[in-house]
Structure 1
Amino acid sequence: MQLEKGMYVRCPVDAEDPDNPRLFALGQIKSINDLAGTVDVILHDPYDFRRFYDFIPRGCKLPIRRVRRCLIYRGSTVLYKGVEYKLLACANEGAKGLRDYYIQCTGDGNQIIKASEKDLQVPFTQIEYSPLLQLAEYEFHHPSWYKNRLLVSKIMHILDNAIYGFKTLAGCRVFLMPHQIYTIVRCLEDRPCRYMLADEVGLGKTIEACSVVKIMHEENTNLRVLFVVPGSLAEQWRTELIYKFTLVPTLYKPGQGFSPLSIVAVEELDLAAQEGLKEGRWDICIVDEAHRLLGLPREYEHVKDLSRNIENILFLSATPIQARKNEYLKLLVLLHPDQYENMDMETFESLLARQGMVQKRVYSILNDMEEYEDYCDTIYDQLIDIADDLKDDNLKDIVKKIDINGHDHGIENARLALAYICEHYRLERRMIRNRRVLLKESLPRRNLEAVTYQMAGSEEFYYERNTYEALLQWIKEQGNNIDDESVLNTIQPLLAAFFSSPWAFAGKLEELGVADTNLAYNAGLWCEAAENEHRMLSNVLDDPDLIRGRLVKIIDYLEQELCLDNDKAPKVVVFTRYKVTLEKFLELAQKRFGQERYAAFYSGMSQEELSANVDRFQKSDICKLMICDELGGEGRNFQIADFVVHLDLPWSVNELEQRIGRLDRIGREKERDVVSVVIYAEGTIEEQLFKLWDRGLNVFKKSISGLEIILGELNRQIALALIKDVEFGLSETIDSIIHFAQEMKKVIEEEQYYDAAAIIYRPLSRQLEQMVKYYQANENEMFATAMMTWASQAGLNGEGDTTNGSQIIRFRENAFSIRSAENTLLVPPDWAVYRDYPMVRQKDSITGTFDRMLAIKREDLLFYAPGDPVFDSIIENALSCGRGRACAFAELGEFEWKGLVFVWSIEPDIKPLLEVKGDLRCLTQFRGFLPLEQIFTLYPLDEESAQVNPGLVKEHLIKPYTDRSRKTAHLGQRSKNRDFLSGLTKSLSNLKWFKQQYPREEWISILKKASNQCFKEAKEQVKKRMDLKEVQNEVDRIVNAFRASSIYFGRDAIKVIRLREIYDVVLKCISRPKITLDSAAYYWVVKQNEND
């Protein structure tokens, strides 16, 4: 071994047993004394890890024979010329001299350079040393380290080999849905990132946008992000970013400037622009509810200016409808001002017509795909005709591969052809429109329970009907003064308040300055009557025929129908638009159910109070009721509830959808229906409004998916109906509104299927679905147990036993055991990071879970997942310390087997792409072609072992480590030990006995032969598991489709040549993957006698 100054080497630092060391540190050669046979090494410590491990020397002199040439652990944080970088790959791994490494600046992910190891400063913990060499030197670690690392390494192999950004997303408190991951991939693979996310409601546009920001923030920790959102949603965005993505933004306030993560309300864009908003050098801008800007000319211009000046921008919009051409074009102008701002409508319509022609023909095919076997001949002919008309040779090649006489009648290639058409023959590929049809199999049902009542009048001393009649009379008296503005600003607010509570109505009369003696008089009597009913609550509920008011009616419903006074009752969320109604309902809940049974969530409460109440509702089995104003409809997760009660009906279907959407969310179990409980007064305008939402839009039974963009028109029709006849206008317009909605649904359905087919039938989508399922299957209790066991052995002691079903784990800063940590040189998490997390309420103590579902349900818990300091500390230590990568052990079993086990990791070889300065994100959609699972290869050491089924051996090997019954023998034990082999080893330690059985030369010879044979076997397995022809086809499809769509829509095709060059390199990276030995073990299964 030829050593040079500047090289990194592995140095023994095991004071306990210098002759058989198990503990090593990374050192850099400072000088070499060939005459003395020694080297002087420096052990770098740029992050002061010696505060935990003061026995690690700053430098030392070692015999050359004691040090070993090694690699730097991939993924290490290193310093280069004083700047922090992440190490990506070794450029010349087999080089005899100094090695070069590709490193990526942590402050600017776009800066990737190649640097010599001599110029890098690397922490002494970051060693990459072959487990084969560890075995050769009899460095056998305890089987508990080995088995726990197997599980940890398995799930990290999935994350590292998944598509770009998935690892970051896996660390967020969100459900992992394939359509969202697909969207995130699309946004990130092609820079600049300029997209319009126009998913239908409920599909998680906010999650997609936040995920993109989170991943870009991982690339560049100095990222400057501007969020432009409606003021009513600003707090929701802040909450989502903090709780789900651990990003802490600030809400813009005039005069206070802008932070690196700033949320600016649309309503304050004028002020913000005056304070330098547009000169803020933002890296990315997120604009929510972009379609609302179409009715706000000044704000629209501000956002258009931002779009011109900011390279990366994401617009979140209701799904645009192409038939509404003016709106569609205006949205595209925001996305690409330079391309669309000066485009005349005639040109735009001709481009839309081109897509429309293809869309209509594809729609008829998609309707037949459900019964493909019966219609395959017709579908084939139609696809041939489309390919001929488009003059697309690549599409023709795909269609020709459809074998309608084959075993599956060519359905896979038919799907591929449809995906190709729908993906590439669209006017604007940077508008992503996910449809609910993608999730139809996994969404819960919505149900409705209507609670009705007759308004009581003066004859029953209640005065609600009298007040209603007085209100209608007052409105009619306004006569010709009623117009759109008065309906919006006066009549609708009065009606909405009236059908909430007498106190809300009285307050609204005063707020609007309505001076009508008769109306005020009756409203006052109504308030007094309602107060009296509330005072006599117990008596009234004992005789339900006495109930007059809606609030008491709902209390009765909760008690009688949902048994809310029982600990087994379902969880319920109650909504009202008015704070005074909420306060009165809180008083009733307190009287009837007691304070422990409910929680509140409304404007004016502090963030601490809001969070504490959400925690109680999510955690407590006793707390059954969450009582909210509209603040509760914005962003908080009340998925734990099954019923949503509407004390009053919103006049905006958006508000209604927001309420129901707090329960009807992605990830909710399909079998758990979302039940809306709606109370309304019979024979009133409120009943007409209910029928409009129920019969007209069916919002209580189905989401308003796809119709969001027309809701402005719908609101206008409601206003016109009230102008025409305030008392019966809504009733008369229901049929026309139903007709209008149905006509728009027909137009939308064609677009929905066209959009969905581009995703459903694309190979990447199917790979994503498989990847998500595989990851979720392994993100389980066994993984959590392995993580906890490793952490405990490495000194990071947690409270909570995952093996006994406990999913909640507490870590305390003072429970870190340095003595145990010396085994692996684990670096504990930076506890200071947690001080900014609102869910951390105890000093020097954190509580969280490895369970994703529990983390989503319980906002008070941390989520131990990628990106969390505890999780990252454990994972980095398990994978980089070398402990558990080499092992020799015996286990009792039901069969006899003796041999070597090699576990291989598979990943793309990124070096060719780095050499041509290609973007690593180009590999995004191809990683799925590589095996997600690590490859196990077995090398039996005798004839008897060769006859045993390899699957049986693997199944026995991967069982979690437990030695309560002394069924495992550690063959690397350096001291004498009592185990089931003690009768065989006699007075020798297990290690000495093993060395006698396998002397060094014989042992090394076995290892060479076994590793060579198993490496070849691993290569063969990789070839079998990946379809290189399909990889080539996907590359051709991407490049040729880009060329074809450029020609079809008259776009510039200059980029095609560069695209082909880059994707040829991508093909090389994937087709010649890097196969790395992750761990190696001598494994002996000793057949257990029946009497043992």
Structure 2
Amino acid sequence: MSEFRVGQRYLSETETELGLGMITQAEGRHLTVMFPATGEVRLYSAQEAPLARYQLQVQQQGKHADGWSFTIQELTESQGIVTYHGLRDDNQESVVVPETQLSHQVDSNPALTRLLAGQADRLDMYQLRCEASEHLAHHQASEVAGLLGVRTHLLPHQLYIAKTVADRYHPRVLLADEVGLGKTIEAGMIIKRRLTTGRSQRVLIVVPESLMHQWLVELRRRFALNFTLFDDERCEQAEADSENPFLTEQHIIISSRFMHESRWSQALLEAEFDLLIIDEAHHLQPSAPEFSAVKNLCEAVPGLLLLTATPEQEGAEGHFQRLQLLDPDRFSNFASFQKEQAHYKELAEQAESVTDPAELDDLLDKHGTGRVMFRNRRADIGGFPSRHFHPVELDEFEADEDMPWWMEDPRIDWLLDHIKQNRSEKALLICKTAEQVLDLSEALRVLAGVQAATFHEGMTLTERDRSAAFFASEEDGSPILLCSEIGSEGRNFQFVHQLILFDLPTNPDLLEQRIGRLDRIGQQQDIDIYLPYSKGSTEAILLPWYEQGMNAFTQCNAIGRKLYDAFAAEIEQAIAEQQPLSTELLEQTKELHKTWLEHNREGQDKLQALNACRPETAEKIIEQIHRDSDTDTLADFMIAFCDRFGINNEVLDEERWFIRPGEHMRIGSLPGLPDDGITVTFDRITALNFEDTDFLSWDHPMVQAALELLTADDFGSTCVAELKNPAIPAGSWFLELDFASIVPAPKAAALQEFCPLKSLRLLFNGQGQELSAKVSRELLDQQASFIDKKTARQVLRQLREPAQKLIHSGQQQARDWQHSQLEQVKQNALNALQHEQNRLLELQKKNPSVRTSEIEAIDWREKQITSALERPQLSLQAVRILVNNH
């Protein structure tokens, strides 16, 4: 039936868990399909709708919306709507049931339909389908699904945070690891796991404009996640398809300014995202007039991740107000927050004495920022290179107003000499403004013919990306990248180990951000930091304060901003008067730095370390990832899949394959497989060593599509094979059935965590005896062989009626099995959810950081799962007939 009509019933080819859908609108180029089983509605393009027409056949069983079943005797059709004529199963009364009255909770038996139609697949396709069913069930049951395919080294602190946060019902946290520890990686892991498990569907990422492309590339390269960049032009185009442009995509990246621009802020509020990520969150200014729009958006989205390596960069009160975005009830009074911080040392001592992990969870959850803030420190993780500071004092100079400043500045001569002496080494130079970057670029070009790469806010995103690539190129790239202050955030240059500071910021956190562009995970060499400065300059004033007062160049400086707040007036005055800082101020800085550092180490740092990473738990996560990755099995499965579906694959070396669509590919496309092909690997280390190689895991969209194709489509669902067993009479036949228990539920309920795909195998001989406990599938596979299509059709025609009777008998056994399975699932789910709900209720009595919405989310999930388990579907997924011909 080529024309879509209102009332017709369809199954989603890509989301079979939605149940049976009904077309509610069919106008022009678009279709609206409602899926009552899950309460969801989908809008499709009529030309490309991934829908399969649901039409029962004679002798099949149907189910009415009122719950009773009937057996079909005849079909009629009028204006595109099919009407079924048959007998009710309970009283044999004649009934007439239009397809519009079918229950959305019906058994889906494509294998039976194909069997009755005389259609059969090759033996190897049937076997691959059975393998896929096992693999999909295993993946759904995995406690680390979504973390298997991360293209990174498996670092304990990152994985602990990722799983802990991703598994919360409505995560609202501040990811505040020190610079270079991988907050973006942690956020990507959280997103990937939540999308994989269904806990989140609509994700919005907000980043500084300069980082939009970097996030887009990192999400694709490291996590196989496809996001869409929305700028003004893209939003305007999307408005042609929807009143709200942000409803046209599920996964979106925008620049920070979109949150408070009146043109787009209201549309963002109404777009119903369920997870919001804000990078460089220290830029959120509570005192700014546009902050109210940011606050409204944060309140509208149930899941919120704020990312910043320097949470107190704008002061302690600013940090507190950003915590309020996460939980305004918990963080309602700044004075109380400060008072609580004063007792962190006693709390840390108490926490260190706790040996039971559950008791430690309770203690940390009840106090401080335990539930909302994760901060790992380099000192706790270890393994970072050393920093070496090289201050270079130069002569004073007076600028000539008639000449460019760089013609006389001694720093230019030093810079030229440094580039000349370090021809084989690249250097990153950071200064305050874009104007300085342009002047320095001109100076290097005019004075030495050096073509410097530049990076500043006056460039477009594309220009910045090209410039960064020009700098990174080993063959003909620039020896130096000149960055304005925007280069001190987000961009990663760990392939460089020389940093040149052309000036010093007054904010210590900003200095740490600059150094962190090089000193981060992945850096293989010690960091050399150069500061050329002139006598009497602002840098000459600030240098002793940074170096002597807090040793800020050679170690991470977590309390720098707090020190600046203590001496800001004196520092600003000294700079204004161009006078050196007093020896007394330097000593006071040094003493306060020592005192506060010790205070933090004994209190806040210990508490945050206990919360940010539990090494034993993290190691268990890593072990689980290694077990569930099962790369050898995955490689065998995917290579077999390529062979069966006409995808060309060529072995490049022991760990890499090149795959591309073949001329006779059996499917139109596969997610992630371009027409010109790609290089793939199943090995994580190989993927890290070869940037141009895709890392395939059980999480990868291409693998998931292969599993979905083989378990939800008809491929391999029916098979006729030949046995050659001399111990069995010739002509003996067997019927192998695979039933699947399917429970449609909203994705957000994450039902698969309690109820992964489950299947029942039954094996009957021609006399109706059930033999599955005595004869394994593996044993049959060893004896089975291919049979040609013509012979297969003859066998199906001959055995159609007795096979149908056995299938009917098997269905009752399968229903009994399903009922038993789901009763246990229901009990396990209720026990787990009620335990978690009770835990949070108990915590809430002592700590308001446990939000009521978290508890309500558990209650919602419990109701959805309970309701779904009352409406299960039983699907005959695969049928194999084996005939002995010995």
TM over 0.5: same fold? yes
What are the Cα deviations for residues 556-585 of structure 1, in whole angstroms up to 9, with x where unaligned?
2454xxxx6xxxxxxx56344334445666
Aligned partners of 2:231 and 2:254 also within 8 Å? yes
Q: Give 1:676's match in structure 2, choosing from 518, 527, 535.
A: 527
- In structure 1, what is the Cα distance between the partners aligned to 2:447 and 2:34? 59
- 2:357 aligned with 1:415: yes
Q: Hey, what does 1:719 align to over in structure 2? A: 571
1:378-393 counterparts in 2 under 5 A?
379=354
Q: Hey, what does 1:81 align to over in structure 2? A: 24
- 2:349 aligned with 1:364: yes
1:919-938 counterparts in 2 under 5 A?
921=748, 923=750
Task: State how many pairs are aligned.
Answer: 781
Amino acid at match of 2:386: N
1:973-992 counterparts in 2 under 5 A?
973-974=787-788
Distance 1:280 1:439, change over 3 A: same
- In structure 2, what is the Cα distance between the partners aligned to 1:1060 and 1:44? 32
- In structure 2, what is the Cα distance between the partners aligned to 1:186 and 1:947? 38
- Find the residue that maps to 1:790 and give its secondary structure: helix
What are the Cα deviations for residues 425-448 of structure 1, in whole angstroms up to 9, with x where unaligned?
14678x62122269955x641323
Q: Give 1:435's match in structure 2, choosing from 372, 375, 379.
A: 375
Q: Hey, what does 2:72 align to over in structure 1? A: none
Aligned partners of 2:362 and 2:843 also within 8 Å? no
1:1064-1075 counterparts in 2 under 5 A?
none
Q: Give 1:181's match in structure 2, choosing from 140, 149, 162.
A: 162
- In structure 2, what is the Cα distance between the partners aligned to 1:847 and 1:719? 57
Q: Give 1:793's match in structure 2, choosing from 638, 644, 650.
A: 644
- Find the residue that maps to 2:841 and give its secondary structure: helix
- In structure 2, what is the Cα distance between the partners aligned to 1:993 and 1:803? 44
Distance 1:887 1:820, change over 3 A: same
What are the Cα deviations for residues 13-63 of structure 1, in whole angstroms up to 9, with x where unaligned?
xxxxxxxxxxxxx999x9xxxxxxxxxxx997999x9xxxxxxxxxxxxxx
Amino acid at match of 1:972: F
- Find the residue that maps to 2:17 and give its secondary structure: coil
- In structure 1, what is the Cα distance between the partners aligned to 2:750 and 2:404? 73
Q: Give 2:711's match in structure 1, choosing from 879, 884, 907.
A: 879
Distance 1:87 1:585, change over 3 A: farther
- 2:289 aligned with 1:298: yes
Q: Hey, what does 1:971 align to over in structure 2? A: 785
1:17-32 counterparts in 2 under 5 A?
none
- In structure 1, what is the Cα distance between the partners aligned to 2:553 and 2:739? 49
Distance 1:279 1:601, change over 3 A: closer
What are the Cα deviations for residues 1007-1044 of structure 1, in whole angstroms up to 9, with x where unaligned?
9999989x989999x99xx9988x77754542233322
- In structure 2, what is the Cα distance between the partners aligned to 1:1057 and 1:805? 47
- Per chain length, whose mean CA-contact separation is higher, i.e. which structure has more relative contact order (CA < 8 Å, sep 6+)? 2
Amino acid at match of 1:646: I
What are the Cα deviations for residues 746-787 of structure 1, in whole angstroms up to 9, with x where unaligned?
454433443454565699978755554445x33x47635643
- Find the residue that maps to 1:446 and give its secondary structure: coil
Distance 1:1001 1:367, change over 3 A: same
- 2:240 aligned with 1:246: no
Aligned partners of 1:129 and 1:882 also within 8 Å? no
Distance 1:180 1:220, change over 3 A: closer
- In structure 2, what is the Cα distance between the partners aligned to 1:556 and 1:658? 27
Q: Hey, what does 1:118 align to over in structure 2? A: 99
- Find the residue that maps to 2:428 and give its secondary structure: strand
Aligned partners of 1:87 and 1:101 also within 8 Å? no
- Find the residue that maps to 1:729 and give its secondary structure: coil
1:313-352 counterparts in 2 under 5 A?
315-317=306-308, 326-327=317-318, 329-335=320-326, 339=329, 348=336
Distance 1:252 1:935, change over 3 A: same
1:650-1049 counterparts in 2 under 5 A?
650-651=504-505, 653-662=508-517, 668=522, 673-681=524-532, 703-704=556-557, 707=559, 710=562, 713=565, 716=568, 719-720=571-572, 722-723=574-575, 726=578, 728-729=580-581, 736-749=588-601, 750-758=603-611, 771-775=624-628, 777-778=629-630, 780=631, 783=634, 786-787=637-638, 789-795=640-646, 797-798=647-648, 800-801=650-651, 804-806=654-656, 809=659, 811=660, 817=663, 819-821=664-666, 826-828=667-669, 845=676, 847=678, 849=680, 874-884=706-716, 921=748, 923=750, 971-974=785-788, 1034-1049=832-847
Aligned partners of 2:20 and 2:36 also within 8 Å? no
Gaps of 5+ in 2: 26-30, 40-55, 68-96, 247-251, 432-436, 725-732, 766-770
Aligned partners of 1:318 and 1:708 also within 8 Å? no
1:27-176 counterparts in 2 under 5 A?
73-74=16-17, 80-82=23-25, 84=32, 96-98=61-63, 118-119=99-100, 129=109, 142=122, 144-145=124-125, 156-162=136-142, 167=146
What are the Cα deviations for residues 126-156 of structure 1, in whole angstroms up to 9, with x where unaligned?
9964879999999885465456556655654
What are the Cα deviations for residues 941-990 of structure 1, in whole angstroms up to 9, with x where unaligned?
9xxx9999999x89x99xxxxxxxxxx986133279xxxxxxxxxxxx89
Aligned partners of 2:9 and 2:22 also within 8 Å? no
- Find the residue that maps to 2:63 and give its secondary structure: coil
- In structure 1, what is the Cα distance between the partners aligned to 2:759 and 2:455? 51
Aligned partners of 1:905 and 1:1078 also within 8 Å? yes
- Find the residue that maps to 1:422 and give its secondary structure: helix
Amino acid at match of 1:643: H
TM-score under structure 2 normalisation?
0.63
Distance 1:418 1:697, change over 3 A: same
Distance 1:827 1:153, change over 3 A: farther
TM-score under structure 1 normalisation?
0.53
CA RMSD, Structure 1 to Structure 2 (Å): 6.9
- Find the residue that maps to 1:878 and give its secondary structure: helix
Aligned partners of 2:518 and 2:527 also within 8 Å? no
1:462-501 counterparts in 2 under 5 A?
465=394, 468-470=395-397
Cα shift at 1:794 = 1.9
- In structure 2, what is the Cα distance between the partners aligned to 1:903 and 1:451? 74
- In structure 2, what is the Cα distance between the partners aligned to 1:527 and 1:203? 36
- Find the residue that maps to 2:62 and give its secondary structure: coil
Aligned partners of 1:664 and 1:674 also within 8 Å? no
Gaps of 5+ in 1: 1-25, 31-41, 50-71, 103-115, 369-378, 380-410, 456-464, 472-508, 531-548, 565-571, 835-839, 893-898, 958-967, 977-988, 1085-1092
How many percent identity over aligned positions? 16
Aligned partners of 1:904 and 1:1075 also within 8 Å? no
What are the Cα deviations for residues 619-643 of structure 1, in whole angstroms up to 9, with x where unaligned?
878879673524655544555x263
- In structure 2, what is the Cα distance between the partners aligned to 1:581 and 1:230? 25
- In structure 2, what is the Cα distance between the partners aligned to 1:212 and 1:420? 23
Distance 1:27 1:1077, change over 3 A: farther
- In structure 1, what is the Cα distance between the partners aligned to 2:349 and 2:199? 46
Q: Hey, what does 1:643 align to over in structure 2? A: 497
Cα shift at 1:879 = 3.0
- Find the residue that maps to 1:436 and give its secondary structure: coil
Aligned partners of 1:146 and 1:887 also within 8 Å? yes
Which has a greater percent of helix?
1
Q: Hey, what does 2:421 align to over in structure 1? A: 556
